[in-house]
Structure 1
Amino acid sequence: MGDIAKGVLGGAWSLLVGWILPTALNLGVLALAVAPSLRRTAVARRLWPDAAPGPMLVLLTASLLCGLVLHALQNLLYRLLEGYALWPARAYEAGCRRARAARSALADRTQLLGLERRARDGTALGPLAAADLVRVRSDPRLARAVRKDRRRTSAQRGLLQERLSRYPVDPAQIAPTRLGNAIRRFEEYGQNRYCLDTQLLSNELTGAAPDKLCRQVELARTSVDFFVALLAGHTAVAVLALATLPAASADVPPLLAAAGGLLVLVPLWYRAAVAATDEWAAAVRALVNAGRKPLAESLGLVLPKELAEERRMWTLVSRFSRIPFHERASALDRYRAAP
């Protein structure tokens, strides 16, 4: 039983909970709300056999197959929701401008709250801090939000900081969507802190890091996968319900209600996916912080004592993996472990 439980809690668990379970839920909605009207169409009557297998067997089989297909297409789904794939150039640029403006506004609001708290505590503000205080207070775009922020409790102000933390530190890394920024913030963590390109060295890092850290990252991502698969399925079922309307005149109200309800839930699942990235970001942060040393050892390197030297080392390692070999790569010799 221990081996069985270990196998269930392995990689199959992420596939089951992240992709197959939400697919089963979406297919259940399809069977209850859309399938009765869909089976009355001429195409469905031709495709659907008279002696069809039991509905539970069909649902189970379809959930398994569609879940595997979604799992194979996960990169495309994520890139679409992050704003990297199938986005027109103008829409991408407009989304990035909105995201930069939202990040800047959140940063100014949190900065103002901090400066006003220091002023209330009697802490003397330096010239730069005093200038920032005047600048943010005089910004008409923030006046209404600032009035609300001043009435917030400490816990609510912490949530404001949490929203700001879902953006990348580097403004050049801003993505056009909230999910894209929430994911990009931990994709840039290793590069920002240690000059370690975790995207380029992802396989090396997860292969060298302790299994517990890798498992934490996998489980944290499963929650995001669940909501991504759920909203993708909701969108597909809603579109199918709307496409069925011309051939199902008698069932128009139920189909409209089903499509409308699913489309209303899509933004909710999107927000849930963005919030679920917090745990994923924490797991990736732990993986980078605690996995650097095993990674260096697996590459035959020794971590320098100085942080600046470590950043130089990871920069050289990233370049060595990204570009063709050059004689300048011999600069890595100073960090290599003794044979």
Structure 2
Amino acid sequence: MLGAVVKEAGGLLDRRFFLNGLLPMLAFLGCCLLTVAAARGGVAGAVAAWQRQGATIKTVHVLAFLVVALLAAAWLASAATTLVRLYEGYWPGRIGRPLRALGLRWHRRRMSALDPGDDADYARLHTSYPSDPAEVMPTRLGNILKNAELHPEDRYGLDAVVIWPRLYPLLPEEQRAALVAARTELEFFLTVSALAAVYSAASGIFLVVAGAAPGLFLLCHTAGGVVALLAYRAALPSARLYGQQVKVTFDVHRDLLLKATGQHDPEGFDERLRWQALARHWYRGIPLAATFDAATFEGAAGDDPVPDEPPAPPRRALLPAAVVLAALLLTSALGALLLR
């Protein structure tokens, strides 16, 4: 049984590396080579030059390409979490802060316009925005994932960041496989989007410096930007699916951790207090009895500070996707003018 579980886990990891690392990186490097060939004599000339090479030179080039692709794919797969956080909207620095403020204004305004009494609006709030307006993120992807992250705290008083690493090893194999599959799909689309954006910028700069034809510049630069936007849009349903799987995990399987820690049904304390005691014990080292005793003498378990009200959104806010699209069109036009 253990061998079968290890084999299945290895298969999932292999598939995840292939989809989220190797396959996108091969496509990215292939597009880069085609762009360089097209800018320097054309693809037909590059193919003819390749055919004139000896077998040894071809073998060395192919092996070098594969080694570079594997190393780059390994780095890309290891950076999956950082990539997801980037698309969620964790943007530091002088450039990131204004962009983050733009996204926050837009999404706070959009969230405040939704009516919980309307079925369609409630469905959007239930899957696409966090319950706390102060937790709104500057991107649609960030709000979808933040919604799933805050779900266990809203329903059960459970700190998902602290509890998740301890709950995950106890999950049934089928649930872990469903989580890995949903996360893999999400990371695949974000990886494609990121590589397409890098290709759009890098090919644009290279073609301008190389003095390529305007049509080639427009094709490479604009196509890369469009693919990046489309892949990001495709990642949103995958993010909702992954968020739903995270919610299901806490809704259905959270008792596994309570049973494993001997806190399944302590007499006289509700579930929210039990989770609060466990989170304090694991994160702060506070004994469980201290939390239970404090609740007994103070007569209340909910001592978390109430978050401040978020700032009122402005009357006008630009759609972030429209800003990105306008920037893409502007750079395409400027590049084409420089190459005329």
Output the TM-score relative to the length of structure 2. Answer: 0.71
Secondary structure of the equivalent of 1:175?
coil
Aligned to 2:315: none
Contact 2:277 2:291 (C-alpha < 8 Å) held by counterparts: no
Residue 325 and residue 311 in structure 1: after superposition, are their counterparts in 2 closer, same or farther (change >3 A)?
closer
Deviations 1:101-138, CA, capped at 9 Å, x for gaps: 11222x22x735x5xxxxxxxxxxxxxxxxxxxxxxxx
Structure 1's consecutive aligned runs of 4 or more residues displaced over 4 angstroms after TM superposition are 2-5, 54-59
Work out which of the residue numbers 172, 196, 214 in structure 1 matches 2:158.
196
Alignment of 1:93-132 (within 5 A): 93-105=101-113, 107-108=114-115, 111-112=117-118
Aligned to 2:17: 15
Structure 1 position 319 matched with structure 2 position 280: yes
Work out which of the residue numbers 294, 302, 319 in structure 1 matches 2:256.
294
Aligned to 1:44: none
For structure 1, which runs of at least 5 residues remain unmatched after alignment? 41-48, 115-156, 335-339
Shift of 1:325: 2.9
Contact 2:89 2:139 (C-alpha < 8 Å) held by counterparts: yes
Structure 1 position 73 matched with structure 2 position 79: yes
Aligned to 2:206: 244
Q: Letter of the aligned partner of 1:254 in structure 2? A: L
For structure 2, which runs of at least 5 residues remain unmatched after alignment? 43-52, 296-340
Output the CA distance in 1 between the equivalents of 2:10 and 2:34: 30
Shift of 1:89: 3.4
Deviations 1:186-237, CA, capped at 9 Å, x for gaps: 1111111111111122210101221221221111011110011101111111
Alignment of 1:1-339 (within 5 A): 6=8, 9-37=11-39, 51=57, 53=59, 57-86=63-92, 88-105=96-113, 107-108=114-115, 111-112=117-118, 162-164=123-125, 165-303=127-265, 309-325=270-286, 329=290, 331=292
Deviates more, 1:233-242 or 1:160-169: 160-169
Q: Letter of the aligned partner of 1:270 in structure 2? A: Y
Shift of 1:181: 0.4
Residue 265 and residue 327 in structure 1: after superposition, are their counterparts in 2 closer, same or farther (change >3 A)?
closer
Output the CA distance in 2 between the equivalents of 1:80 and 1:286: 25
Q: Root-mean-square deviation (CA), in Å? A: 3.2
Aligned to 2:298: none
Q: Across the two proteins, how many residue pairs are aligned to each other?
A: 277
Residue 246 and residue 330 in structure 1: after superposition, are their counterparts in 2 closer, same or farther (change >3 A)?
closer
Output the TM-score relative to the length of structure 1. Answer: 0.71
Could you tell me the percent identity over the aligned residues?
A: 25
Q: Letter of the aligned partner of 1:240 in structure 2? A: A
Shift of 1:25: 2.2
Output the CA distance in 2 between the equivalents of 1:3 and 1:193: 32
Aligned to 1:46: none
Secondary structure of the equivalent of 1:180?
helix
Secondary structure of the equivalent of 2:270?
helix
Shift of 1:34: 3.6
Deviates more, 1:192-201 or 1:70-79: 70-79
Residue 329 and residue 25 in structure 1: after superposition, are their counterparts in 2 closer, same or farther (change >3 A)?
farther
Shift of 1:247: 3.9
Shift of 1:94: 3.3
Residue 4 and residue 90 in structure 1: after superposition, are their counterparts in 2 closer, same or farther (change >3 A)?
closer
Deviations 1:299-321, CA, capped at 9 Å, x for gaps: 22214699x81011101111222
Output the CA distance in 2 between the equivalents of 1:216 and 1:104: 33
